Chain A
Amino acid sequence: MRGRLSARHTTLLGLALVIAAVPWFFPSAYYFRVAALVWVSGLAAVGLQVLMGQAGQVSLGHAGFLGLGAYACALGPKLTGLPVLACLPLGAVLSGLIAFVVGRPILRLRGHTLAVATLGFGMLVTMVLTGENGLTGGPDGIRIPRVELFGWRVRGAETWYWIAGGALWLGVWLALNLQDSPSGRALAALHDSEVAARTLGVDVARHKLRAFVVAAVYASVAGSLLGMMNGFVTPDAAGFLSSIEYVTMVVIGGSASVPGAVVGAALLVLLPQALTVFHEYEHALLGLMIMLFMIFLRQGILPGLAGLLAGRCLGAPKPVASAGARA
């Protein structure tokens, strides 16, 4: 099997199978809702993986773009009279443009400095969303009108499950293609060493900016979907904690791996749901699980497990650190 199918195709096929198969096990609409949430968060995480895992740049304000996407769908119909669905690409273009303008100067910064700059961007977005009461509804949030497609009202958890699943699959497909493209190779090169990449003729600034814009567009689309699904959005969606959550998804799943981002998203969406049975201990347990995963699977869940399996099958410890399973 593996000889015929490339890792990329196996991943895409696997993801399609998972999306198609899990509804068989769903006893109620609630499960569709949670799963749709996993796919949408996964979409945002996959975008962030392009920036973090492939280009090696950290963003602590990524939820800002998510918020832009969601609020585009809330405010777009009001301000322009366009249908809600048309506001999704509008929000994506807007986020991409903002990422382009903001990214040009701030991507010159590195490491923790870049983290602070993106943090500032995220805070700025949240502040505007919270502060401009008249337009955005302030801290209480704002309603997003129901989606209509040729007179058909898109509603119900199950419908959104398939829409979100489809969007995630497309997103993963694009991200995997990007990883294997010349651009992806350039990102991998500058991730390892910017100086080395530059001497090889890689336009470092341009590629970084491109990854930043890609990540912003992913986040914006995910934000739009999330908003339309919930019919509601609050500034918290764009907040610092939300940004941190996406970063955690990418790292805990395995930042070098595209499907890892989806696994990370699944974990961080499902864990709190599963832990609600522990009532007040929910947060303590969530924190504990994050710590344990990172201590025992340092490369992230997917590459870590792959490393463990490979090590067991071949009987020889594989250098997990460098392999990192670029699936």
Chain B
Amino acid sequence: MVAELLQFLVSGLTVGAVYALVALGFTLIYNASDVVNFAQGEFVMLGGMVTVFATAAGVPLPLAAFLAVLATVAVGLLLHRLAIEPARGASAVTLIIITIGASIFLRGVAQVAFDKRFHQLPGFSGSDPIPLLGAAILPQSFWVLGGAVLIFLGLWLFLERTLAGKAVRATAANRLAARLVGVDTAKVLALSFGVSAGIGAAAGVLVTPITLTSYDVGTLLALKGFAAAMLGGMGSPLGAVVGGLMVGLLEALGAGYVSSAYKDAVAFLVIVAVLFALPQGLFGRSGVERV
């Protein structure tokens, strides 16, 4: 019983950490622009795929992972520069459709540049399960959880302690006011795209040994990450983390105790129920609406 529960909890937290990272990416870009970036899942895919193909070409894993994150950050910045920046001033819906176009584009390019097959990376420290209180836990789970914690901490330090991070927070709080005090909000948006892409890619690198990757894994991740960000409260980094972990746990527990075919239904029912009670999400700002 305890072993079973522990097994579900660990697998839920592992998947949840990935959702949390995707949700963080959504949150950062949303805060800087009100845009829900549907290409967020493709960043995760790129992280995984570039690492797979770089290691296959003989690059050692750590370097390959670094290259993958770097390449994805470049893609994120280019996406902003070439697709979002030229449409500056367009409505949020228009920008969202642009990101949908971008996600189809990136998937299409990945399908040509890589291939359509599923790929796996070896576990960073082997794939022998570690027994823990009767449950068997993949060592890669610890890598995912540890990596996610490091990224959360790094992002927190960046937002709280650096000037650029403070500019990001000021932009999130009030874009007009931020601009009035001299924050270059366009640069903040570019920075958000870069950081979101980097976080997504890192998530992709970490999780590929467990879940495999292929050119089209991004859609489902974007969907779950979006739901997680909404559950936590769109715009709140803490909410994104909590929301992501909760969605992962709900899914794992739903699959374990209810039905594996309907695990997503369990997660979505809880999300919708929470949103009825708290339309702003768990940690969202209960903003006053201007009339």
Q: A-side interface residues toward B, CB under 8 Å?
A: 58, 105-106, 108-110, 112-113, 115-117, 119-120, 123-124, 127, 130-131, 193, 195-196, 240-241, 244, 247-248, 251-252, 255, 280-291, 294-295, 298
Query: Do B108 and A286 have beta carbons less than 8 Å apart?
Result: yes
Task: Among A112, A115, A123, point to the contact of B268 (Cβ < 8 A).
Answer: A123
Query: Contacts A294-B94, A295-B98 given: A287-B230 contact, CB under 8 Å?
Result: no
> Would you give the 0/1 interface string for B249-281, flagging 1 where the beta carbon is closer than 8 Å to chain A?
000000000000110110011011001100101
A-facing residues in B8-46 (Cβ within 8 Å): 36, 38
8 residue pairs A–B, Cβ–Cβ below 8 Å: A58-B93, A109-B279, A119-B223, A244-B38, A248-B97, A251-B97, A286-B104, A288-B105
Are A287 and B291 touching (Cβ within 8 A)? no
Beta-carbon contact of B275 and A117 below 8 Å: yes
Is there an interface contact between B272 and A127, defined as CB atoms closer than 8 Å? no
- Of B51-59, B84-92, B182-190, the one touching chain A: B84-92
The smallest C-beta distance from B43 to any residue of chain A, in angstroms, reads 15
Q: Which residue of B lies closest to A58 (CB)?
A: B93
Given contacts A120-B272, A295-B83, contact A131 B101 (CB under 8 A): no
List the A side residues contacting B38 at CB < 8 Å.
244
Name which residue of chain B comes closest to A127, CB basis: B265
Query: Would A287 and B223 be within 8 Å (CB), given that A120-B271, A298-B90, A298-B91 are in contact?
Result: no
Residues of B within 8 A of A244 (CB): 38, 100
Please determine whether B93 and A255 come into contact, CB atoms closer than 8 angstroms: yes
A119, B102: Cα distance in complex, Å: 20
Question: Are A282 and B108 neighbours in the complex by a CB distance under 8 Å?
Answer: yes
A239's nearest neighbour on chain B, judged by CB, is: B219
Partner of B107, one of A105, A287, A294, A295: A287
Name A116's contact: one of B101, B105, B230 (CB within 8 Å).
Answer: B230
Q: Contact between B264 and A116 (Cβ–Cβ < 8 Å)?
A: no
Q: Complex formed: what's the CA distance from A35 to B18 in Å? A: 42
Residues from chain A with Cβ under 8 Å of B106 in the complex: 287
Task: Confirm or deny: B5 has a beta carbon within 8 angstroms of a beta carbon on chain A.
Answer: no
CB neighbours (8 Å) of A251 from chain B are 93-94, 97
The chain B residues found within 8 Å of chain A, CB to CB, are: 36, 38, 83, 86-87, 90-91, 93-95, 97-98, 100-109, 111-112, 219, 223, 226-227, 230, 234, 261-262, 264-265, 268-269, 271-272, 275-276, 279, 281, 291
Known: A284-B108, A291-B101, A291-B105. A109 touches B275 (CB 8 A): yes
- Shortest distance from the beta carbon of A70 to any chain B beta carbon, whole Å: 21
A196 CA / B97 CA spacing, docked (Å): 28
B101:A287 contact, CB within 8 angstroms:
yes
Are A280 and B100 closer than 8 Å at their CB atoms?
no
Complex contact B279–A291 (CB within 8 A): no
Give the CA-CA distance A128 to B95 in the complex, in Å. 32
A120 with B269, Cβ < 8 A, contacts A127-B262, A291-B105 known: yes
A291 to B93, CA, bound (A): 13
Other than the known A247-B97, A290-B98, A294-B97, what 9 A-B pairs have Cβ atoms closer than 8 Å? Answer: A110-B279, A119-B223, A120-B272, A127-B261, A283-B108, A287-B106, A291-B83, A291-B102, A298-B87
Q: How far is the CB of B59 from chain A (nearest CB, A)?
A: 25
Cβ contact within 8 Å between A124 and B268: yes
- The distance in angstroms between the C-alpha atoms of A64 and B83, with both chains bound, is 30
Q: Which residues of A lie under 8 Å from residue B102 when comparing CB positions?
A: 287, 291
- Taking a contact as CB atoms under 8 Å apart, the answer to whether B91 and A112 are in contact is no
Kindly state the separation between the CA atoms of A255 and B93 in the bound complex, as whole angstroms.
10
Contact, CB under 8 Å: B83 / A283? no
Closest residue of chain A to B276 (Cβ to Cβ) is A105
Contact of B264 among A123, A283, A287 (CB under 8 A): A123
A298 to B102, CA, bound (A): 16
